[in-house]
Amino acid sequence: MRMSELDDARPADGPRARARGLALTLLMMIMATACAGPAVPLLTGRGGLGTVADGMVGCYTSFALGQLVVDHAYGTAIVENGRPTPVMWPPGFTARQSGSDVEVLNKQGNVAARTGSRYQIEGGYGGRNPSSFVACGYVLDK
């Protein structure tokens, strides 16, 4: 093959090449979003603990121990003593669907908890409308 024939065999940089690149980029973005799962509404707040510029003033000195379950109104609930109670996660936490479960993400975007598992969550019962468990500290797998 002569050099000029090789040049002719190379794909041209033009509108078609740019369109293919754009389509590939769009496909990758759609796949990444689909893998992450859709966002789920999540109850967040401070539960009356007050605030300072960088977060809560304090945290309850207690914890809840039980299975984290899906709550269709508030995102998640913890089942303690046979009774599910919505969990109010700290401000900045989010949730996403993962199969039939809900994953709770901390402010850094890391999974802090997932429904279907048992956890010990630092916090206390409080809040109004709804009455909830206010998570304000650690989350331990149990």
- Could you give the CA distance from residue 89 to residue 103 in angstroms, rounded to a whole number? 12
- Residue 137's pLDDT band (cuts 50, 70, 90): confident
Distance CA(11)–CA(13), nearest Å, equals 7
Which whole-number Å values give the CA distances from 52 to 47, 49, 92, 126, 130, in the listed order? 14, 10, 15, 19, 24
Residue 34 φ then ψ, to 5°: -65, -35
Residues 21-62 have pLDDT tens digits of: 666 655 454 444 445 688 889 999 876 555 555 555 567 788
Strands (E), the chain: 51-52, 55-56, 62-71, 75-80, 83-88, 94-98, 101-105, 111-114, 118-126, 132-141
Q: What is the pLDDT of residue 142?
A: 83
Residues 6+ apart with CB under 8 A from 48: 126, 127, 134
pTM higher than the cut 0.85: no
d(CA 124, CA 113): 17
* Percentage, residues of the chain above pLDDT 70: 68
Q: What is the DSSP letter of 92?
A: T
Lowest mean pLDDT among 11-20, 40-49, 105-114, 129-138: 11-20
**Do 135 and 75 meet the contact criterion of CB atoms below 8 Å apart?**
no
Dihedral angle computed from the Cα positions of residues 112, 115, 118 and 120, in that order, rounded to the nearest 10 degrees: 40
Residue 133 and residue 63: Cα distance in Å, rounded?
9
